[in-house]
Amino acid sequence: MKQKRISENFRKTSETEIYCKVNIDGKGLNKIITPIPFINHMLEQISKHSYIDLDVKCSGDVDIDAHHTVEDLGWCIGEALNKAILNKAGINRFASLSLPMDETLTSCSLDVSGRPWLEWKVILPKEKIGGVDAEVFQEFFRAFAQSAKMTIHIENNYGSNAHHIIESCFKVLAVCLKNSLTIIERNSDIIPSTKGVI
């Protein structure tokens, strides 16, 4: 019987309190509640384009700034995803894609490797996007890569609109998650590594 790739995660610190639930084999349904509307929109992109059902409830010290909340969201969601992947048997494991959004082109290469790494080559032309300090977005992706235990390379090839650039980063990550986590039925019991474990 096929195991359900579903997990829940909870993170509570003196700065944030976050609950999330993921279903890798979902339909991209989501319910996102955070104190940062732009981040809600970005997390909806991850869910919609990865087909991962995502529920998130978050409170944080946004009266200081968005840094702790955005970073901890990346950590909590990535950790939930890593739990849901189980032993990684049968997954594609690798994905690479260039994704256009109007004048912007952004690339992502991803390996569900068990080895956390983020390579971030994204220069944002504004200090704030959607009311969020632009530098904080890298912290989301770094925390996500660390807790999901994935190697992720993201590069903005070109673009001029800061909203388009950062949204394309979330969208291209989403599609790479979908492609890398898809189960290859003929190899559904095989770990995609010569080591026999990831």
Question: What is the residue range of 180's domain?
Answer: 6-187
In a domain, 146, yes or no: yes
pLDDT for 153-198, tens place per residue?
Answer: 999 999 999 999 999 999 999 999 999 999 998 888 888 888 888 8
- The percentage of residues in the chain with a pLDDT greater than 90, rounded to a whole number, is 89
b/e code 82-114 from CB counts within 10 Å (16+ = b): bbbbeebbbbbbebebebebeebbbbbbbbbbb
In a domain, 34, yes or no: yes
User: CB within 8 A of 61, min separation 6: which ones?
Assistant: 15, 16, 68, 69
| CATH code for position 146 | 3.30.230.40
In a domain, 195, yes or no: no
In a domain, 174, yes or no: yes
The number of folded domains in the chain is: 1
pLDDT for 5-64, tens place per residue?
Answer: 999 999 999 999 999 999 999 999 999 999 999 999 999 999 999 999 999 999 999 988
CB 186 within 8 A of CB 192: no
> What are the φ and ψ backbone dihedral angles of 37, each rounded to 5 degrees?
-55, -40
> What are the φ and ψ backbone dihedral angles of 177, each rounded to 5 degrees?
-65, -45
